[in-house]
Chain A
Amino acid sequence: MKSKECVAMILAGGQGSRLGILTKNIAKPAVPFGGKYKIIDFPLSNCAHSGITAVGVLTQYQPLELNTYIGNGQPWDLDRNDGGVYVLPPYVSAEKGEWYKGTANAIYQNIGFISGFDPKYVVILSGDHIYKMDYSKMIKAHKEAKAAATIAVIEVPWDEASRFGIMNTDENMNIVEFEEKPKKPKSNLASMGVYVFSWDILKKYLIADENDPKSDNDFGKNIIPAMLSDKNKMLAYRFDGYWKDVGTIQSLWEANMNLLSENPGYELDDPGWKIFSRNPAKPPHYIAPSSRVKNCYITEGCEIFGDIENSVIFQGVTIEEGAVVRDSVIFPDSYIGKNAIVNKAMIGTNAYIAENSEIGSTSDDANKDFVNTKICSDDITLIGPNVSIAEGIKVAGCSMVTRNIKKPNAEKAAGKKSVKGTATA
């Protein structure tokens, strides 16, 4: 292999358990976002635009969809004769085989892969944030400062700082202390989960960390503190664009809704920095005479006959006449039946909402069996992928529906029928 100055490693193995049913069968980076993307499109496109042409994607949890999606990397221009994108699951060797124990261990297990490119720098990225960032500028800052590690930071509101990993810096942006979710933050510079390391230095720390049986093998908990305590030069690199963690149902919903605001803080449609994705071969979408469409994002392959307001609609969705969709995110290939109401919800891929049903209902007689305030908050209702909701069913707000909801009397009727069937047979 030819050497590369820089290799990027995307940590895409996380389950994202706070996304509930959405990540039951797919890894978090494969979760759909913004009408036609998956979360992983953002770091992959950023790499492609930053001129990083050797990219490893570390997968572990439910990797099938992610592996298929990435394929040979062609949608991101990462199908290269030299380098390109590689999906790197954990593997078994002659001595042992094990899962990725933590973020640092995932990179440790791929030292061989990285060393094959003989890089000077390694960029470590997490596969679960929405942002547009030129990593090459950060690498330049890292080089100029002759740093051992450079960590991208973003200013967060002070009252939210205790939810993040906070970097305390001196006046030259050198990191003096790292605090994970501090109760009393001394700074409001949060780590974005974007790191540049000088490879020879990182490699030493990864090996030392692996040999420490007490370590959690985690960048934030172990590697960064160890490097700090050894007085390595650690630079904080300030990023002032849009950056959003989409680790919860509420933040994922908000990040989608943010696209519809007057000023989303970043331009999704920036011709010089497009977010690439695997484009489906679908025709343009059709808006019928019966529909009303206000403040929406709609993509190809949809057929819209109903009313939509403040919503993001993915490819191949059908919304029938009389249906009302408000403040919602409808994932690919879902169906919303006639006169159905969808209110402040996220509807999973290929879900079926039958006619006259109501999702996110406030009515007293609504089905509350699936109310789940641990996953859902702010009255957002989540319908799982491939779930179907029968005609006329009302699903209460803040529900996470994980299986089909049938008509109550239909179940009984079906039961009777089968008994009869056995008798005559």
Chain B
Amino acid sequence: MVNNNTLGLIFSENSEASLGELMKFRSLAAVPVGGRYRIIDFMLSNMVNSGIVNVGITAGFKNRSLTDHVGSGRAWDMARKENGLFILPPPETIDLNGRIMGGIDYLSGAMSYLNRSRQEYVMLSDCNTICNIDLERVMDFHFEKDADITVVYTEEPDISPRELGKHILFDVGDDGSVSDIQIYPRRQKSDAAYMHMFFIKKSLLIELIEDCMAHDEHVISKNILLANLGKLRIFAYKFEGYKKKIDTIDAFFEFNLELLEEKVRRELFGEDKKSIYTKVKDSVPTKYGRDAEVKNSFIADGCEIYGEVENCIVFRGVKIGKGAKVKNSVIMQKSQIMDNCTVENVIFDKEVILCSGKSLVGESTYPLVIGKRKVV
């Protein structure tokens, strides 16, 4: 089915996510994950798979790697004469006065895109919640409930106190209506955790954005959702599949290693799921040498593996030399680990070279991050 009447809007940045070294040269959306993907691939594919034919991606200032990755949108079948993919740069005239860009600031830069698009509804989403979600079900739910805004949540009992302060929780009634919203609570009163995705009529969204801009308000959760509680019909759709929010290096590391679990791979890439697309690189298959010892690893195309690899996520074009021992690590595109190196609990950004015989060891709870193109 083609949801011609809905456009997608993805935020490529999120002020609450900080991936340190990995975001030094790129936006959150463009951070490589899962062996061959970038964070944006999941949400963008979800939208395309749900029949959305017009998607805008709000870009921050560090957008080179994002624009390079999505290009014309062809890999997602979005290089279209009508509709397709749009990169929306941040508004030029914005005066932040020292504060950070909020969601509404990004939306203000998307106003002319919103106004010009023919679609009547908008699906908005952060980029950094990794999941394979059928958004058509969210839309169906929205119309069934005759809602003004439909937010998407997952059940998350027992959120750790450290994590709780980063969550937005809903009180959801039996009919799916939202009766309370707790932003960054201290105490967990509800298990319904917001997935930073909502569906809304475009005309209403524009009205709300203009209102916020006129009142110097910048935060979607507070100024659009919470402020309209009781005034608008806000409903919550429950997503039951696997999801992982990537907002810290730890979460990034955890997500990657979770891909070694069959259940997680099924949830994201299973045969009954729609495909997650990414930029095509025409890499050759991965070559395993005679002395390769590989256990429990997720390996993309174009690699050459001659050493030992265990519990690793290996991106396209990585080389691992003879006698090298690599464990519990995430190794991004075109990095090279030369002969006889020892590596444990390390995240290698792209094109890192680890010279022969070197040893790099992090902790499983605190992985070592080696920045892009570093030579060690």
Partner among B269, B286, B291 whose Cβ is within 8 Å of the Cβ of A298: B286
B35 within 8 Å of A (CB atoms) = yes
- Does the CB pair A36–B297 fall under 8 Å? no
Residues in B whose Cβ lies below 8 Å from that of A297: 284-288
Residues in A whose Cβ lies below 8 Å from that of B293: 292
A289 in contact with B295 given A275-B282, A298-B288 (CB within 8 Å): yes
Q: Which parts of A33-57 form the interface with B (CB within 8 Å)?
A: 34-36
- Does the CB pair B282–A293 fall under 8 Å? no
Q: Considering the complex, give the chain B residue whose CB is closest to the CB of A301.
A: B269
A283 in contact with B269 given A36-B301, A74-B74 (CB within 8 Å): yes
Q: How far is the CA of A276 from the CA of B280 in the complex (A)?
A: 10
Partner among B289, B301, B314 whose Cβ is within 8 Å of the Cβ of A299: B301
B23 within 8 Å of A (CB atoms) = no
- Does the CB pair A295–B289 fall under 8 Å? yes
Q: How far is the CA of A389 from the CA of B154 in the complex (A)?
A: 44
Number of residues of chain B lying within 8 A (CB) of chain A: 37
Q: How far is the CA of A34 from the CA of B74 in the complex (A)?
A: 26
B275 within 8 Å of A (CB atoms) = yes
A287 in contact with B295 given A277-B282, A293-B288, A297-B285 (CB within 8 Å): yes
- Does the CB pair B288–A295 fall under 8 Å? yes
- Does the CB pair B282–A284 fall under 8 Å? no
A274 within 8 Å of B (CB atoms) = yes
A327 within 8 Å of B (CB atoms) = no
Q: How far is the CA of A283 from the CA of B287 in the complex (A)?
A: 17
A268 in contact with B284 given A284-B314, A299-B301, A300-B300 (CB within 8 Å): yes
- Does the CB pair A293–B292 fall under 8 Å? yes
Q: Considering the complex, give the chain A residue whose CB is closest to the CB of B270.
A: A283
Q: How far is the CA of A300 from the CA of B36 in the complex (A)?
A: 10
Q: Which parts of A356-372 form the interface with B (CB within 8 Å)?
A: none
Partner among B35, B278, B285, B291 whose Cβ is within 8 Å of the Cβ of A36: B285
Q: Considering the complex, give the chain A residue whose CB is closest to the CB of B45.
A: A281
Q: Considering the complex, give the chain B residue whose CB is closest to the CB of A288.
A: B296
> How many Å from the CB of A17 to the closest CB on chain B?
28
A284 in contact with B284 given A289-B295, A293-B294 (CB within 8 Å): no
Residues in A whose Cβ lies below 8 Å from that of B314: 284
Residues in B whose Cβ lies below 8 Å from that of A292: 293
Q: Considering the complex, give the chain A residue whose CB is closest to the CB of B314.
A: A284
Residues in A whose Cβ lies below 8 Å from that of B277: 281
Most buried by B among A287, A289, A291: A287
Number of residues of chain A lying within 8 A (CB) of chain B: 34
> How many Å from the CB of A343 to the closest CB on chain B?
18
- Does the CB pair B301–A300 fall under 8 Å? yes
- Does the CB pair B282–A283 fall under 8 Å? no
Partner among A269, A281, A313 whose Cβ is within 8 Å of the Cβ of B284: A269
B242 within 8 Å of A (CB atoms) = no
A312 within 8 Å of B (CB atoms) = yes
Residues in A whose Cβ lies below 8 Å from that of B296: 287-289
B268 within 8 Å of A (CB atoms) = yes
> How many Å from the CB of A307 to the closest CB on chain B?
12
- Does the CB pair B290–A294 fall under 8 Å? yes
B239 within 8 Å of A (CB atoms) = no
Residues in A whose Cβ lies below 8 Å from that of B278: 281
> How many Å from the CB of B163 to the closest CB on chain A?
27
- Does the CB pair B290–A36 fall under 8 Å? no
Residues in A whose Cβ lies below 8 Å from that of B34: 283-284
Residues in A whose Cβ lies below 8 Å from that of B268: 283
Partner among B275, B288, B297, B298 whose Cβ is within 8 Å of the Cβ of A294: B288
- Does the CB pair B35–A284 fall under 8 Å? yes
- Does the CB pair B276–A281 fall under 8 Å? yes
- Does the CB pair B299–A35 fall under 8 Å? no
Q: How far is the CA of A294 from the CA of B269 in the complex (A)?
A: 26
- Does the CB pair A274–B282 fall under 8 Å? yes
Q: How far is the CA of A268 from the CA of B313 in the complex (A)?
A: 24
Q: How far is the CA of A312 from the CA of B288 in the complex (A)?
A: 10
- Does the CB pair A284–B290 fall under 8 Å? no
Residues in A whose Cβ lies below 8 Å from that of B285: 34-36, 297-299, 312-313
B358 within 8 Å of A (CB atoms) = no
Q: Which parts of B296-317 form the interface with A (CB within 8 Å)?
A: 296-302, 313-314
Residues in B whose Cβ lies below 8 Å from that of A279: 280-282
Q: How far is the CA of A297 from the CA of B304 in the complex (A)?
A: 9
B265 within 8 Å of A (CB atoms) = yes
Residues in A whose Cβ lies below 8 Å from that of B36: 283-284, 300
Most buried by B among A34, A284, A286, A294: A284
- Does the CB pair B289–A269 fall under 8 Å? no
> How many Å from the CB of A263 to the closest CB on chain B?
13
Q: How far is the CA of A294 from the CA of B308 in the complex (A)?
A: 11
Q: How far is the CA of A292 from the CA of B295 in the complex (A)?
A: 8
- Does the CB pair B275–A281 fall under 8 Å? yes
Q: Considering the complex, give the chain B residue whose CB is closest to the CB of A269.
A: B284
Residues in B whose Cβ lies below 8 Å from that of A275: 282, 284
Partner among A74, A284, A293, A295 whose Cβ is within 8 Å of the Cβ of B300: A284
- Does the CB pair B292–A294 fall under 8 Å? yes
- Does the CB pair A284–B299 fall under 8 Å? yes
> How many Å from the CB of B314 to the closest CB on chain A?
7
A407 within 8 Å of B (CB atoms) = no
> How many Å from the CB of A333 to the closest CB on chain B?
10
Partner among A283, A287, A291 whose Cβ is within 8 Å of the Cβ of B265: A283
Q: Mark A223-241, 1 if CB is under 8 A from B, else 0.
A: 0000000000000000000
**17 other contacts beyond A34-B285, A295-B288, A295-B289, with CB at 8 A cut-off?**
A36-B285, A75-B280, A75-B282, A279-B282, A282-B269, A283-B35, A283-B268, A283-B298, A284-B36, A284-B299, A285-B286, A286-B260, A289-B296, A292-B293, A294-B288, A295-B290, A312-B285
Interface of B with A (CB < 8 Å)? Answer: 34-36, 74, 260, 265, 268-269, 275-278, 280-302, 313-314
9 A-B contacts (beta carbon < 8 Å): A279-B282, A284-B34, A285-B286, A287-B296, A293-B288, A294-B290, A295-B290, A297-B284, A298-B299
Pick the 6 closest A-B CB pairs, nearest first.
A35-B285, A284-B35, A299-B285, A281-B275, A284-B300, A283-B269
